[in-house]
Structure 1
Amino acid sequence: MNIQRWITRREPNWRRLDAILQKIEKRGLKSLPSSEIHELASLYRSVSADLARAKTQQVGATLIRELQKLTSRSYSQVYQGSRRQEWQAVAEFYLWGFPRVVQQTWGYIAISTGIFVLGALIAWWYAWQDPSFLSLIVPEELITMVRDEHQLWMGSILGVEPVASSNIMINNIKVSFNAVAGGMTAGILTLYLIFYNGLLIGAIGALVGLNNLAYPFWAFVFPHGSLELPAIFLAGASGLLIARALLFPGQYRRVDALKYYGFQAAQLVFGIVPLLVIAGIIEGFISPNPLIPNPLKYLIGMILLTFLIRYCGRTKIVKSADLSEV
């Protein structure tokens, strides 16, 4: 290989890459037009190949060192820039994307919530009419503790908060994912899980009400339940979206309907996981804490629920300048 001729032929690429990198290092990656970003990636691959060839042909330590610096600078901008874009996409989703998909799927969320509420009302009504109904749903040891000992069971969390919090998170995420996966059973499993959880909360609510423990019980439930229950409703909506794609694809082919509604379901799932993690932390450390007064626990629940409602109602205002770019 004629080394001098090769250097002469390749040097314009090296100079061009150095010029682009200097621009990025002064003004940031966002200052580049899309054409130069593509050029950056192409030149990086080209110069990396030149470096490998220079090492093989032993063209000189000085040139190899300069090419190494150039490729190192390029790598930093190409891959760190990609990671920044990924994190920006994540932030964009949680700021605007999740509220948008919640608004787009509100009908499914309403159905999921209604099924839960129906189950809770049925269990509540039957339990008040006939307390023996409780034994069909509520574990016997809980009934005995509340009815005979006049105590709630939340004290078992105290002293083991980290472990309890982790177990609560895992259980809640498992229930939610089962509700989502239940969509593949044409929604039957999803409907069952949502309805059964409604029955359970309604029966337990009746149990504590019958034994005059409703106030401390709901003080325990409300701080974490203000996030946990909506997350379960959203999980149910995800399962119903998948069931919709299977049963009623409408104008789409079934496979295309699964892609469309499945993507919406996946977005809901990405949104509910942080809710369940936060709810698990609250349920482990705040809800059972006897040092926190019950009125404050109710206030925490109200603040979190209000925040969640306002957050899900967010809409991104698109400026006219943005529309001109579309």
Structure 2
Amino acid sequence: MDLDAYVAEHAGEWRRLDQLSRRRRLSAPEADELVILYQRTATHLSAVRSRSPDPALVARLSRLVLQARSALTGGPGFSLRSVGRFFSVTFPLAVYRAAPWWLGVTAAFATLSGVLMWYVASHPEVPAMLLSEDQIDELVNSSFAGYYTEYQPQNFALQVWTNNAFLAAQCLAGGVLVLPVVYVLAVNALSLGLVGGIMIGNGRADVFFGLVTPHGLLELTAVFIAAGFGLRIGWAWIAPGPLRTRGRALGETAREGMVVALGLVLVLFISGLIEAFVTPAPVPTMVRIAIGVTAFVGFLGYVFGFGVRAAQSGESADVEERDALVPMA
């Protein structure tokens, strides 16, 4: 291909396409002209890429095609319909499809922290190696329960929300390297196992589980989902499968991870409200636990109910795949 001659032949069409795609209003003939020029320029771009891939020209034509496409289709914008789809299809489907990962994380975390609680509670010399008697006494009799009433509820809710959102973000972002997720989970399992073991070993199991259960069921589930999806992202480039390149597998899974991250913001906000307003509330322990269990079971029902339905309908949780526009030819 004689690139200079090709540019000279079609430069007028490209300029006209640029002009039309920048206008806010088009007459009917101009709209038809825009469609025709968009189709031609898309063909020109394909020809240049395959025969003489000059980087500058490819970049110029790509920009023109995208600009014209945006003029023809409009931006995605904000709509109640897109929000409804996110909560009824995209988010629950992404979480549902990743269920083997986050359920596996849940089982591993529960096993590790449970074994640690039992060991610490059964061997009082272990916490004595890490904490002084005064520190253990303060934890058991005041600081553990006092943590939930130290701040005003609204301030505490915001603090908890941002802290847990950051923890979930670490799990999602670090998933591509796998080991950071394992480290974050191990550290938190060790912390929970140690504190729980100390409380149980000192006869305060009722206080520990009475305060942790109401918010912990939903809060930890959200963190486990983030960690499971982070590991799924890491596995996507380790073992992309026979039909995908590593780049494509990583891109598709990471985009679903963004969907999960957005949805977990709301889930963690709800768990933060429960931790700030319900956990320390002066009501019977069983009432507080019942509220936490209701929120937890409701979330699982939502994820699996809507997720299964979306999967059976052949829906996609990949934002780019759903919103992609097939170029006209």
TM-score by length of 1: 0.66
2:236 matches 1:245: yes
2:114 matches 1:121: yes
Structure 1 residue aligned with 2:138: 145
Query: What residue identity is the alignment partner of 1:202?
Result: G
Q: Secondary structure at the match of 1:45?
A: coil
- Partner Cα distance (1:318, 1:189) in 2: 30
- Percent identity between matched residues is 25
Query: Over aligned residue pairs, what C-alpha RMSD do you find?
Result: 3.1
2:90 matches 1:110: no
- Partner Cα distance (1:156, 1:319) in 2: 45
Query: What residue identity is the alignment partner of 1:172?
Result: N
Distance 1:156 1:244, change over 3 A: closer
- Partner Cα distance (1:295, 1:153) in 2: 19
Structure 2 residue aligned with 1:307: 298
2:210 matches 1:230: no
- Please show how residues 258-277 of structure 1 align to structure 2 within 5 Å: 258-277=250-269
Q: CA deviation at 1:182?
A: 1.5
Structure 1 residue aligned with 2:175: 183
- Partner Cα distance (2:174, 2:133) in 1: 28
Query: What residue identity is the alignment partner of 1:189?
Result: P
Structure 1 unaligned spans of 5+: 1-40, 51-77
Query: What residue identity is the alignment partner of 1:101?
Result: A
Q: CA deviation at 1:171?
A: 0.8
Instruction: Tell me which stretches of 4 or more aligned residues in structure 1 moved more than 4 Å.
Output: 41-44, 81-84, 135-142, 317-320
Structure 2 residue aligned with 1:37: none
Q: CA deviation at 1:234?
A: 0.4
- Partner Cα distance (1:112, 1:43) in 2: 52
| Cα shift readout 1:13-58 (whole Å, capped 9, x = no counterpart) | xxxxxxxxxxxxxxxxxxxxxxxxxxxx9996127xx9xxxxxxxx
2:26 matches 1:46: yes
Query: What residue identity is the alignment partner of 1:195?
Result: A
- Please show how residues 1-326 of structure 1 align to structure 2 within 5 Å: 45-46=25-26, 83=77, 85=79, 87-134=80-127, 143-147=136-140, 150-158=141-149, 160-185=152-177, 187-251=178-242, 252-289=244-281, 291-315=282-306, 316=309
- Partner Cα distance (1:116, 1:177) in 2: 18
| Cα shift readout 1:43-82 (whole Å, capped 9, x = no counterpart) | 96127xx9xxxxxxxxxxxxxxxxxxxxxxxxxxx99x96
Task: Tell me, yes or no, if the aligned pair for 1:238 and 1:269 is still in contact at 8 Å.
Answer: no
Q: CA deviation at 1:199?
A: 2.2
Q: Secondary structure at the match of 2:209?
A: helix
Structure 2 unaligned spans of 5+: 1-20, 31-72, 316-329
* Number of positions where the alignment pairs a residue of Structure 1 with one of Structure 2: 246
Q: CA deviation at 1:184?
A: 2.7
Distance 1:182 1:134, change over 3 A: farther
Distance 1:196 1:135, change over 3 A: farther
Q: CA deviation at 1:156?
A: 4.3
